[in-house]
Structure 1
């Protein structure tokens, strides 16, 4: 049986799953597998998962993983969670960063945190899993950006200023259907300073959870490609988290990228969370994004371990089934390779150069 096509993915929440489950044994679970959730190293190998963005996301202190169950309804508007205390967010952020650092150290070369283009090439040549450290929501970062410098030294190379929760840097877009993302203000003065510092440090700025106002703030400020690591097309599914054609055109103009999110509530035209969602509906987003961005501007942004994904994928071992569906849909081998791997690696090399 041929080896699966290498996959580079724009977003996963494995670190959050490990943090919630058992931080003390997180490294063993990552490296040996536990059969839970969507991701662990043995299943990544079977699915062809060659690398991706590993998100640090700080949950609420009284976290309820079922809070998004209302997204099975025909229409919904989930309230934004309460902003987090910085000290709490810093503790959780450092714990998840430490998990990934320990995984790298104890994996004996099987996992490598990538900080520069040469690291990506080394992972490709050795077969190591390429991990990009990402922060989803900057609650742990202080107004003076001292923590940003510390996280950058630890390997941080991608950051979303907000999740769907407001903080000192800006406003997150709520989970609302049907809706555009034009809900509330954008970046604060601190947020604008954060984007400029990220540009100087070579940290990619992720637009996925920003309001439309925040998106355009970043577009005006940033001198780097515009990137949404895990977002979909509003023209296909009118969810507040999805990107309008005008936003997609701005991303295309910047030579940026969008990673297609597998979360069914962002895929379906009716906005419902439903694992029975077909891959044909997911491929409609690929088609639309390729039309607006070109074939070089689209990749994968699975949201594994952070969302309900189609049963036809199931977990990371189902990625070859998505690749097969792309080929049946009419994408040629060169296009599939770009969508699956080459576009993300090319973008990172341009961003870090």
Structure 2
């Protein structure tokens, strides 16, 4: 594989902060900067694979499953606040310690400038708003710290919305839509120019956001429900709405969201990922698909050990007929365009 195969990738979702936070210790930022043989992302491996940046999730984990339906408990606000501030501080420390190798980006111009100087373009993303109270005060504080994208829920309910549980085969039509607090959250995100991520919302919540929001609809790390009928995946009607608002879908690399039977098939061929890209392109166009790997947050195909192997995926797309212009859109241009439309100039 030649260096020309290594396109810059701006990725819609990673959980590297969760991995680093869980491992703990004062050297967490240095482990990311210097590299370690764990997980999917660190700076040395990102450079090798062309991973130029992406949405870095702050996520409060659920440590146990409540029942056989795959329902997770919602953390308390106190617990969520502690974890959220710790991960936000960790990303800030990585930026400071990296001496320019990672930049927290607040505008599309920031992302382009970071890519130009080979600095990892990190966007602070909140996956589940459990730390934010009904008064939304913390939202303003996090925005000042660099937060620019937010998913109201992970796959569990909170005061804002109902997160879609993990079920297969099943539609995402599970549970109620946004609460009054959730509608206020979306409106305030629009005012602050914070992207609202739909990936873990149920169907009713998706359509509530579609009615309220004036920004492009985005599912940062989801796949095609018509191929893999997992509740986390995007239906044809949702795809059409995403197209109509100029939004996008970031392809999730998790094998359980890719294979038709939602099987944990780590030997899955990369052609299955191409199939999801093809479907989105055929239905809503090349401008509306990108990557949303879920690195460090899910089980990915063995063919993609970690972010070093991103050129294998771009090569699979090239072999399937995607030309240079299309690949540039999928790997980074679509994300930057949608974020610029959402955030403003």
The reply to whether TM is greater than 0.5 is yes
| 8 Å CA contact 1:47, 1:319 repeated in 2 | yes
Equivalent pairs counted in the alignment come to 342
**Paired residues of 1:252 and 1:292 also in contact (CA < 8 A):** no
Deviation at residue 78 of structure 1 after TM alignment:
3.8
Could you report, residue by residue, the CA deviation over 1:222-262 in whole angstroms, capped at 9, with x for unpaired residues? 00000000000001111110111000000000000100000
For 2:30, the equivalent position in structure 1 comes to 28
User: What does residue 2 of structure 1 align with?
Assistant: 3
Please say if 1:101 is aligned against 2:95: no
Q: Give 2:134's aligned residue.
A: 143
Specify the alignment match of 2:215 in structure 1.
224
Relative to structure 1, the CA distance from residue 51 to residue 294 in structure 2 (aligned partners, 3 Å threshold; closer, same or farther) is same
Pairwise mapping of residues 34-183 of structure 1 onto structure 2 (< 5 A)? 34-60=36-62, 63=63, 78-183=69-174
Q: Flag structure 1 segments of 5+ consecutive residues without an equivalent.
A: 69-75
**1:86 Cα shift?**
0.3
Counterpart pick for 1:266 among 252, 257, 263: 257
Contact preservation (8 Å) 1:259, 1:301: yes
2:309 counterpart residue number: 318
Separation in 1, partners of 2:237, 2:32: 39
CA RMSD after TM alignment? 1.4
CA gap 1:79/1:2 in 2 versus in 1, 3 angstroms: closer
> Contact conserved, 1:77 with 1:177, CA < 8 A, in 2?
no
SS in 1 for 2:304: coil
Question: Which stretch of structure 1 is more off in the superposition, 112-121 or 13-22?
Answer: 112-121
- Displacement of 1:117 in angstroms is 2.4
TM-score w.r.t. length of structure 1: 0.95
Structure 2 unaligned spans of 5+ = none
Give how far 1:23 is off.
4.3
Query: Which residue of structure 1 aligns with residue 200 of structure 2?
Result: 209
Instruction: State which drifts further: 268-277 or 242-251.
Output: 268-277
Are the structure 2 counterparts of residues 214 and 77 from structure 1 closer, same or farther at C-alpha, using a change threshold of 3 Å?
Answer: farther
Counterparts of 2:331 and 2:25, CA distance in 1: 31
Q: Residue 177 of structure 2: which of 165, 186, 201 is its match?
A: 186
Alpha-carbon displacement from aligned partner over 1:20-71 (angstroms, at most 9, x marks no partner): 11242210111011110101110000000011000000013xx25xx69xxx
- SS of residue matched to 1:170: coil
Instruction: State the distance in 2 between where 1:11 and 1:338 align.
Output: 17
Residue number among 281, 287, 295 corresponding to 1:296 in the alignment: 287
What is the alpha-carbon distance in structure 1 between the residues aligned to residue 124 and residue 319 of structure 2?
33
Residue-by-residue CA offset, 1:259-308 (whole Å, 9 max, x unaligned): 00000000000011221111111111001111222101100000000000
Off by >4 Å, runs of 4+ in structure 1: none
Q: Distance in 1 between matches of 2:279 and 2:215?
A: 23
Asked whether the equivalents of residues 80 and 166 of structure 1 are also in contact (C-alpha less than 8 Å), the reply is no
